[in-house]
Structure 1
Amino acid sequence: MPGWKALPDELDPDVGAFTERLRRLIDRSGLAVTAVAERTGHERSAWDAYLNGRLPVPRSAVVALAEVAGSDPAALATDWELAERAWSRGRGGDAERDVARDGARDAEPGRGRDAEPDAGDRTMQIRRLDRPEPAGTSAGASPAPRPRTADSHAPAPTPAPTPASSSGSRRQSVLLSVAGVLGALLVVTAALLLVDLGGSDGGGGDGGDGGDGRAVAPPTTSAPPATPRADLPAGVMCAGSDCTGRDPEEMGCGGPLATTVARTRVGAAQVEVRYSDTCAAAWARITGAAPGDAVTVEVAGAVRRAAVTPGSGAEPDTDAYTPMVAVGSGADARACATLANGGGGCTTD
C-alpha cells in the first residue's frame, strides 16, 4: 500500500478532491503504483505526477485505472470533468493577467504620445495633403500642406543662364536624365528577379515577403509541414522526427497508443521496446529494476538512455523509460539494460 504525500496547499479544490478519489481507488484495489502503471499502460513517473497533483490526468488513464480497479468509469466522469476545468483555469489565469497588465502599461504611454503619429494618423495626413489646413494648427498636429494654387506649384523664377554656362547645364540635365532612367530600370529588374526567385522554387518556405514588400504566392508543389499535428488524434503532440528526444507521456504517445513489441528479462528486471504507430516512434522501458539500473533504446545508431532513481517516497522507484526515437517500425528498435550489479542484456540477444 503506498504511503501518500500531502497534496500542495495551493492545489485547486476540485483537483485535490479528484486526486484523493484516485488514491482511494488505488488503495481499495490493493495494487502498488508500479503495478497500476504496468496494467494501465501509463508510465510510473506519469502516475506519480497524477497522484501528487503535478499533472492533469488524461481521460485514457482514468478509464484504464477504473478497469484495473474494477470500478465504473462513468462514476469518475463528473469529478474528472471538474478537475479538468480547474486545470484549464490554472493554465489560462496567468496568461490573462499578463495580457491585462501589458495592455494597461501600453495604454498609459499611448495617452501621452502625440509627437509620433501612428499608421492611421499618417494615412489621414496623406489624404489631407490636397486640402488647406485652417489657421492656428497646433505644434503637435501634422504640418499644413501648401494650397493647390498656380503660384504654389509654379517653379521659382531663375535668372537666364549666361551663354558660357548654357551648354554645361544642358549636358548636366542630359546626364541626370540618363542616370534616372538607368536607376529606374535597375529597380524594376531587381524587383522582377526577386519575385521570380521567391515564387519559382518556394524560397522562404512560407510564401512570405518576396523582397520588395509584396506577398509572393506559394508554389503549387510546396513541401509538407514539418509537424503534421493537424492530422494527429487529439492529445498527440508529435510524429516521426519531431518526437525524437521527447517524453512519450507528455507528447501523448503512451497509454493505449503504445504497444510492447519486444521484451526480455535481465536479472530480476524486465526490459521492453515500446512502440507507437501513431507517433512513429519507439522508446525503452525497464520495470522491476533497482536504483542505478539503466535502460537504452537504439534505432540505426540513435540512442536514448534513462536510469532508475532512488526515489523520494516511501516506495522506491523500480522502473524508468527513455525518451523517444523516430522509427517506422518497432521491429527496428532495440532495448538494452545495464544493471548496477554489473549484469546486462538486450531484447535482440
Structure 2
Amino acid sequence: MPRWKALPDELDPQIREFASQLRRLVDRSGLSVSAVADRTGYSRTSWERYLNGRLLAPRGAVAALAEVTGTDIDHLTTMWELADRAWSRSEMRHDRTMEVRRVSRARAALGTAEEAGAGAATEAGAAGAGPREPAPDEPTDLLRDEPRDPPRHPLPAAPPVRPLAPPPAPPPGSPPAPPARAAGAPAGGRGRRRVLTALAAGVGLLLVAVAVVLLVDPGGAGDDGDGRTAPPSSRAPTTAPGTPLPAGVKCAGAGCAGRDPETMGCGGEFATTVSRARVGPARVEVRHSVTCRAAWARLTGAAPGDTVRVTAKGIGGQEALVDADGDAYTPMVAVAAADDARACATLKGGAVGCTGG
C-alpha cells in the first residue's frame, strides 16, 4: 500500500509540485508524519492536510520542516511563494464563481417578481380600458366585447345629467375675473400626487438596489472548509500602530483569541514551549508566541476522547478534543506574558494534570 494518497486532480500545477516536494523531504528524512508533527510544533492532522494538498502549509510550517530535514530554507521558501500565489488565484476563481451564481440567483428572483408585477399591471390596464371603438374599415363583429350570457344583476340606470347653469354676470365696475384654467391642465392636487408617485418610485428603486447588494454579498467572503480563508476579524490583525507583523503572521493580541495558531501563522518559528507536564502516558504543554502575544495548549501521546484546555488570567479558556491522531491543540488565548497561560489535560480514565503543578 503506498504511503501517500494521490493528490487531487484539480490542484494547480504549482501547488501540486510544492506538495510533492514536501512529500520527498519527509521521505528522505525517514520520519513519520507523527514525528514531523512533534518536531515542528504543528499537529499531525495539519501535516496530513499539507502533504495531501488539501491545505497550503503556512510559511512557519515550511520553515520548521526545512530545519528538521536540513533543507535550504531559501529554496523551499521560493517554492512556497509560488504555491501561495497559485493558491490565492484558485481562491479568487472560486470566489468569482460563487459571486456569479449569487448574482444569477438574485437576477432570477428579481426578474420573476418584475414579470409578475408587469402581468398584474397589464391585466389591470386591460380591465380598465374598456372596449375600443372600431376603425372605419374594420369589421365591427371582430371587436365586439359583449358577454355571451346576459348579466344576472343588471346595473341601475344612471341619473340624468343636468346641464350646468352659466355663471352670473359680474356687476358693473367689478374687476375682471381671472382667466379660466385651460382644459386638461393638471390641478394642484393632481400635481402633488404625481410628485409623491415619483418619490415613491425612487424609494422603491433604492430598496431594490439594496436587496440586490444583500443577495450578491450577504456577509463577505467565507471559509473554504479547510481554514485557508481567514475570517474578517483576523484579516486586520490587532497590533500596536506602526508595528508591522512578520510575513505569514495574521493576528496579534486580542485579534488572535479563539483563532487557530497554525492558520494565523503563530506556530512554528514564532512559538516556543514554555511549560509542560505529564498526565499518565500523555504530555500537555503550553505553547506561546511572543510575536502574536498569544498562547495555546497542546496534548500529545493521548487517546481519542481525551481533552486539553488552556486558560489565562482573567480570560475564559479554550478547549480541544483528541481525535484518532492521538494529539490535539486548542485555539489561542491572548496573554500579556507566557506565565499567564496554563494548560490542563483530562484523560478518559479520570486522570487530570496541569502545567505549573
TM bracket, shorter-chain basis: 0.5 to 0.7
Structure 2: state its 5+ residue gaps.
111-174, 179-235
2:318 to 299, 304, 325: 304
Check conservation: 1:275, 1:282, Cα contact below 8 A. yes
Shift of 1:4: 2.2
1:31 aligns with 2:31: yes
1:18 aligns with 2:7: no
- Letter paired with 2:321: A
Aligned to 2:255: 242
CA distance in structure 2 between the partners assigned to 1:81 and 1:239 by the alignment = 23
Q: Which runs of 4+ in 1 moved over 6 A?
A: 99-107, 157-160
> 8 Å contact 1:336–1:346 — kept in the other structure?
yes
Q: Cα deviations across residues 162-184 of structure 1 (Å, max 9, x unaligned)?
A: xxxxxxxxxxxxxxxxxxxxxxx
Counterpart contact for 1:18–1:79, Cα < 8 Å: yes
Which of 330, 333, 337 is 2:341 aligned to? 333
Q: How does 1:250-329 map to 2 (within 5 A)?
A: 250-300=263-313, 302-310=316-324, 317-329=325-337
Q: Which residue is equivalent to 2:94? A: 94
Against the structure 1 CA distance between its residues 80 and 340, is the aligned structure 2 distance closer, same or farther, given a 3 Å change threshold? Answer: same
2:196 matched residue in structure 1: none
One-letter code of the match for 1:325? V
Displacement of 1:87: 0.5
Q: Tell me, yes or no, if the aligned pair for 2:50 and 2:56 is still in contact at 8 Å.
A: yes
Percentage of identical aligned residues? 58
- What's the CA shift for 1:42? 2.6
Shift of the 158–32 alpha-carbon distance from structure 1 to 2, 3 Å rule, reads farther
Structure 1 position 38, deviation (Å)? 2.2
Structure 1 residue matching 2:284: 3-state secondary structure: strand
- Shift in Å at residue 82 of structure 1? 3.1
Q: TM-score, normalised by structure 1?
A: 0.58
Task: Indicate how the Cα distance of structure 1 residues 81 and 72 shifts in structure 2: closer, same or farther if over 3 A, else same.
Answer: same
Instruction: Say what the alpha-carbon RMSD is for the aligned residues.
Output: 3.4
1:63 deviates by: 2.6
Q: CA deviation at 1:237?
A: 2.3
Distance 1:226 1:39 in 2: 28
Contact preservation (8 Å) 1:237, 1:252 = yes
Q: Which amino acid aligns with 1:50?
A: Y
Of 325, 346, 349 in structure 1, the residue corresponding to residue 354 of structure 2 is: 346
Unaligned runs of 5+ in 1: 110-156, 161-224, 311-316
TM score, norm. by length of structure 2: 0.57
The residue aligned with 2:84 is: 84
Between the aligned partners of 1:329 and 1:78, the Cα distance in structure 2 is 34
Match of 1:193? none
Residue type of the partner of 2:343?
Answer: A
Report Cα offsets for 1:257-281 as digits up to 9, x if no partner: 1111111111121110111122221
Within 5 Å, give how 1:142-153 maps onto structure 2: none
1:237 and 1:78 map into 2 onto residues whose CA distance is 20
Aligned residues: 233
Larger radius of gyration: 2
Relative to structure 2, which stretch is displaced further, 83-92 or 230-239? 230-239
Once the two structures are TM-superposed, the CA of residue 41 in structure 1 deviates from its matched residue by 2.7
CA deviation map 1:30-62 (0-9, x unaligned): 111122122223333322221121221223322
**Partners of 1:70 and 1:334 in 2: CA distance:** 33
How far 1:104 moved relative to its partner? 9.8
Q: Distance between the aligned counterparts of 1:158 and 1:62, measured in 2?
A: 98
